[in-house]
Structure 1
Amino acid sequence: MRVGLDVGGSKTEGVAVASDGSIIARVRRNTGWGPDAVVETILRVVADLGAQLGADASGAASRFSSVGIGIPGQIAPGTLRVEHAVNLGIEALDLGDTVASALGVQVRVDNDVRAAALGAAVLRGGSGSIAYLNLGTGIAAGIVTGPEAGHGARRQTEPGTVWRGARGAAGEVGHISVDPAGPVCRCGQRGCIEALAGGAALAERWGRPGTHPVGDIFEAAEAGDPLALTLRGELARGVAAAVRILVLTTDVETVILGGGLTALGARLHDDVRRELEAVAEASVFLRSLALAERVELLAPGSPAAAFGAALAGAPEEGVLIHG
């Protein structure tokens, strides 16, 4: 059995995956703040998964052959070291070595969006390449290439190739500027996709108190609030721009929308499809690509990131990592 963990800013989700690719245990815990607390959270989730499968705390890790960890931040090339995971209070941490020493099993560490892309490709099934576009506090994508991605009966052991690029920046579409006169992005540019469609940027521009500011924007837009209408429109424009860029540069067959903002469901999906269709009206070429038909929403509650981390944690079983 393998373990996969999706370490988020508020929650950490863990799954145990059997040899046939089925998820046989699933756990969620609040994520601690800072390097030591993050490691402690990971160890507790592994122990909880072992407990679900009948192991005591001391023997939980022995039930598992590998642990894969998906986490925000940069993973230094060729290492298991996490850097600049600011939402977790981590500037630099040798996460893989620390967890492997504590558990005594093989550990792999990857960026959470890339792990989610791998998991989404397999859980979706079918064939063809996919891009997973994460819509959360920020915007980023993971790309799974190759005709074998999520293919038929082989999908559990050959889920495809995560495309990383020469320096690990493949999929960083959030910091592509699509409006030079647009709002300032935290990266220093103007009009980045993330400045238009990222949850943090939208909440800041909305500037009104609330637990779920983007949901509040949609509700206010439906009531006719001018600022909310503008922000909702820019969200759709930003996501649609990311979809166009991903298809035009990689020609993935499907773009799967995931992340916290997809809790908006059909309202977001419909807005993005309408924006894609409106832009394509003036271009025979864009219409030929059927962009609106290539966009899907990740199923609510999907454990894609944790499941993908479990797959990436066992490269000897067919998960190919390039870059």
Structure 2
Amino acid sequence: MSDLTQRIKAFAKLGDFFSEYSKYAKKKSHMDENQLGWFKKFDETLSLAKHHNGWFTPENILYSFDRWAELLSQNQLQDWLSTYEMDKNTRKKVALIMAGNIPLVGFHDFLCTVISGNTALIKLSSNDKVLLPLVAEYITEIEPCLTDQISFVEGKMEGYDAVIATGSDNTSRYFEHYFGKKPNIIRKNRNSAAILTGKETKEQLSALGEDIFRYYGLGCRSVSKIYVPKDYNFDLLFNALYPFKYVIEQHKYANNYDYNKAVYLMSLYKVLENGFLMLKEDKSYASPIATLFYEYYDSLDNLKNRLTHDADLLQCIVANGVLANEVPFGTTQKPSLGDYADNVDTVDFLLKT
């Protein structure tokens, strides 16, 4: 059985590897002879991941690796865990039902489970089947003590003590039925929004493009809705987002753009578009791919009240000087170790279960 120090060191080494591999894959460094075999394995797996799921481009997978490389340092891991009484954990088997909407989307649950000394029983999404098993293979080679803490399950989940399941509003009902009798975190659909006042700089609006287009808008932290004041000049936004026009070169994104545009035209919806993004006035939070919903507001105070009321539907809100818990432009896909999905503290749940 590993101790906390070993586990922290193992994940810190994984972070170093993510950084080294990403630089190599982007041709920014030469192949490390010591990592030759692993670099080749990751090359093959990135190719396989894209074959399984066309949304998983090498660029987006490497972006995920880079984000984790930034977080998985020994100091950051120690600081994060220092607020918990880690020695109070009683080892348990935790069923992790993974989503597959963006690369390694379930890694934070995996990290929380393993680093806290528990065993992860992992049920992968069919959309993300190859990345985490390779990551697990790497980390167990550098720290063999972790081997008995990581298990991938193909069939029925059995012998678990707690459950962390991520899915849609529909699958959450299934999860409640099957896993509701055990301690659980069951996550549903969430979206992210942005509040514009009209005073944003071009740099801020351009940074918002990262929040909108990263992972093609498929993440729960992807901005799918914006709130704008009356008479907002959308040209400001379209001009700032122009550098992201490359998204239309991805065939799945382009197909969605064409399909949704046709639907809107046939339905006689009024839509603003620039060739790679459509803006549609809509009260919903969840917009289709290649579409950004917008809604006008009269009063920021009224808008704040509404967003507070809808807090369970929102993962994060991008703004500048509007909300106490706002996220800066361009940073929705850069959560910290302590930014928990649905604002439910996963480590605390695991320690107290």
Greater CA radius of gyration, 1 or 2? 2
Name the TM-score, length of structure 1 as normaliser.
0.30
More strand by share: 1
More helix by share: 2
Name the TM-score, length of structure 2 as normaliser.
0.29
